[in-house]
Chain A
Amino acid sequence: MARRHLIIGGGTAGINAIRTIREEERERSAITLVSAERPYSRMVLPYYLDRSIAESHVYTASPRVLADWGVTAHVGRRATALDAKAGACTLDDGTTVEYDDCLIATGSSPVRAPVPGADGRAVHSFWTLDEARGVLAGIRPRSHVVLVGAGFIAFTILNSILALGARLTIVEVERRILPRMIDDTGAGLVARWLADHGVTVRAGVRLTRIEDAKGGKRLVFAAGAPIVCDLVIMATGIKTNLDWLQGAGVAVNRGVVVDDHLRSSVPNVYAAGDVAEGRDRISGEAAVHAIEPTAQEHGRVVGANMAGRDVRYRGSVIVNIVEVCHLDVASFGAWDDPKAEAASGLKADRPAYRKLLWRGDRLTGAIILGPSSDIWTTNDVGMLKGLVQSGVALGRFRAHLEANPFDVKPAFIASRTTSTLLDETVLGRPAMAPGDTPVAV
Chain B
Amino acid sequence: MRVLALHPEKCTGCLRCELACSYVQTGAFQPAKSVIRVAPFEGHTSYAPYTCTQCAEGWCMTACPVGAITLNAAGAKAVLDDRCVGCKLCTIACPYGTMFYDPGTRKAFKCNLCDGAPACAEACPTAAITYEETATADWLGDFAHERTARLLEAR
Contact = CB atoms under 8 A, between A and B. Distances in A.
Contacts of B41: 410
Interface string B30-64: 00100001010100000010100101111001111
Interface stretch (A2-10, A82-90, A319-327): A319-327
B85 A386 contact: no
What interface size band does chain B fall in?
35 or more
A416 B142 contact: yes
Nearest to B60: A382
B93 to A, nearest CB: 6
A413 B95 contact: no
Nearest to A416: B141
The winner among A300, A418, A424 for most chain B CB atoms within 10 A is A418
B63 A296 contact: yes
A126 interface: no
A57 B100 CA distance: 22
A397 interface: yes
B128 interface: no
B98 interface: yes
A28 to B, nearest CB: 24
Contact of A382 (B94, B138, B140): B94
Contacts of A57: 66, 83, 85
B14 to A, nearest CB: 19
A383 B62 CA distance: 18
A399 B152 contact: yes
B127 interface: no
Interface string A382-418: 1101100110000011011000000011111111111
Nearest to B42: A410
B85 A431 contact: no
A375 B100 contact: yes
B65 A321 contact: no
A222 B115 CA distance: 61
A394 to B, nearest CB: 11
Contact of B56 (A414, A415, A422): A422
A386 B148 contact: no
B85 A410 contact: no
A43 B96 contact: no
A181 B97 CA distance: 21
B117 interface: no
B57 A409 contact: no
Contact of B138 (A292, A328, A385, A416): A416
Contacts of B58: 430-431
B148 A380 contact: no
A372 B101 CA distance: 8
A47 B101 contact: no
A240 interface: no
A343 to B, nearest CB: 16
Contacts of B94: 382, 385-386
A380 B99 CA distance: 10
B107 to A, nearest CB: 11
A435 B70 contact: yes
Contacts of A386: 94-97
Nearest to A42: B65
A378 interface: yes
B136 A385 contact: no
Nearest to B1: A430
Given A422-B55, A422-B137, A434 B87 contact: no
A12 interface: yes
A62 interface: no
B92 interface: yes
A431 B62 contact: yes
Contacts of A185: none
A138 interface: no
Most buried by B among A44, A319, A382, A397: A382
A44 B65 CA distance: 8
B89 A321 contact: yes
A52 interface: yes
Interface in A149-189: none
Given A373-B103, A410-B148, A382 B96 contact: yes
Contact of B85 (A53, A296, A372): A53
A406 B20 CA distance: 27
Interface string B102-135: 0100100000000000000000000000000000
B89 A293 contact: yes
Contact of B65 (A41, A297, A418, A433): A41
A72 interface: no
10 contacts: A44-B66, A44-B85, A52-B106, A292-B89, A321-B92, A326-B103, A396-B152, A413-B50, A418-B53, A418-B140
Interface of A: 12, 41-44, 46-47, 52-53, 57-58, 60, 292-293, 296-297, 300, 319-321, 323, 326, 328, 330, 332, 372-373, 375, 378-383, 385-386, 389-390, 396-397, 399-400, 408-419, 421-422, 424-426, 429-431, 433-436
